[in-house]
Copies of this chain bind each other. A is one copy, B any other.
Amino acid sequence: MDRLAAEDERPVRQRLLDAGERLFAAHGWNGVSIRTLAAEADVTLSALNYHFGEKENLLAEIFAARAAPIAAERMRLLGKIEAKGAPTLEAIIQAFLRPALTVDKQFGGAPFVKLRARLATEPEAFSRRILARAFDQSSGAFIKALQAVLPGLPAADLAWRFHFLLGAMSYTMANPGRIQSLTGGACDPGDTELALAHLVPFAAAGFRAAPVRRPRRRTKQ
**In whole angstroms, how far apart are the Cα atoms of A215 and B128 in the complex?**
35
A193 — which chain B residues lie within 8 A by C-beta?
215, 217-218
Contact at A163–B174, with CB atoms within 8 Å?
no
Q: Chain A interface: which size bin? A: 35 or more
**Number of identical protomers:** 2
Is A75's CB within 8 Å of the partner chain B?
Answer: no
Is A31's CB within 8 Å of the partner chain B?
Answer: yes
Is A91's CB within 8 Å of the partner chain B?
Answer: no
Residues of A within 8 A of B (CB): 26-28, 30-31, 104, 117-118, 120-124, 128, 131-132, 136, 139-140, 143, 155-157, 159-172, 174, 176-179, 181-183, 186-187, 189, 193-199, 201-210, 212, 214-215, 217-218, 220-221
